[in-house]
Homo-oligomer: A and B are copies of this chain.
Amino acid sequence: MKIVIIGGKGTIGNKVTDHFSKNNEVLVAGRTSGEVTVDIADANSIKKMFDGIGMVDAIICIAGEAKWASFNDLTEDDYYIGIKSKLMGQVNLVRIGQKFLNPNGSITLSTGVLADDPVLKTASAAMVNGGIHSFAQAAALELEQGHKLNVVSLELVIDAYEKYKDYFLGHNPISMEKAVNAYVRSVMGQRNGEIIRVYQ
C-alpha cells in the first residue's frame, strides 16, 4: 500500500510511521519536517500536497493544533486556531484527500480523550476533537468507492506522559503499542465511521 502520514514525525506519528514502513510505501508529510511539506490549516497546501504525491491507498492524519488556555482567557480568535487547524484542517483533508484515494482506501483522523473526558484549559481543544467525532460519523455515510473514514481517539500516550501528566491527573497513559494498533485497526480493518477509542 502507498500511505501518506501527515504528522508522521510527531510523538505518536513516529511510531505509526515505523510500523507501516515495514510493509508499505510510506510518505511522511509535515509542516516543518517529512518528505512532503503540508500545512493542514490551509486547504491549498493540502491540495498541493496531493497534486505532488498522487493517488494513495491510505491517508493518516496525526496533526493539527488547538490553543490550550483557561476558559476565561480564551478569546474568540483563540478558538479559531483549533477550528482552522485540527477541525477544518482534518475536514479539508477528507474533502480533498478522497479525490486522491484509491478504491477501498482509508482515511484516519486523530482526536483524543479530551473529546469525551476533558481536563482544565481544554474548552477549545475538546471542542475541535468532539466536532471531528461527529463529522466523521456523518461524512462516513456518504463516502464512495468503498472509502473508509475512521477516527483514532487516544488517551494520553506513555511517550507524552512526562510533558502532560500535570494536566491529566488520574489518567492512565496507554502504551505506544496500543496507540499504533488503533491506527492499524483503522487502516487494515473493514470498519467505516468508527471512533476508535483507546482509553483505560
Please tell me if the beta carbons of B138 and A134 are within 8 angstroms of each other in the complex: no
Given contacts A76-B92, A91-B79, A92-B76, whether A119 and B134 have CB atoms under 8 Å apart is no
A87 within 8 A of B: yes
Please tell me if the beta carbons of A88 and B116 are within 8 angstroms of each other in the complex: no
Kindly state the interface size class of chain A when it binds its partner. Answer: 35 or more
Interface residues of A (CB under 8 A from B): 43, 70-72, 74, 76, 79-80, 83, 87-88, 91-92, 95, 114-135, 137-139, 141-143
Describe A's contact surface by its main secondary structure. Answer: helix
Please tell me if the beta carbons of A131 and B71 are within 8 angstroms of each other in the complex: no
Query: What's the minimum C-beta distance from A74 to chain B, rounded to whole angstroms?
Result: 8
How distant is the Cα of A88 from the Cα of B72 in the complex, in angstroms? 15
A83 / chain B contacts, CB cutoff of 8 Å: 83, 87-88
Interface centre among A121, A133, A137, A138 (most CB of B within 10 A): A138
Given contacts A76-B88, A83-B83, A123-B142, whether A134 and B137 have CB atoms under 8 Å apart is no
Please tell me if the beta carbons of A141 and B127 are within 8 angstroms of each other in the complex: no
A91 / chain B contacts, CB cutoff of 8 Å: 76, 79, 123, 127
Q: Beyond A83-B88, A114-B138, A128-B131: 19 further Cβ-contacts under 8 Å? A: A43-B76, A71-B143, A72-B142, A76-B95, A80-B88, A87-B131, A116-B134, A117-B137, A119-B138, A122-B138, A123-B138, A123-B139, A123-B142, A126-B134, A127-B131, A130-B130, A130-B132, A130-B135, A133-B134
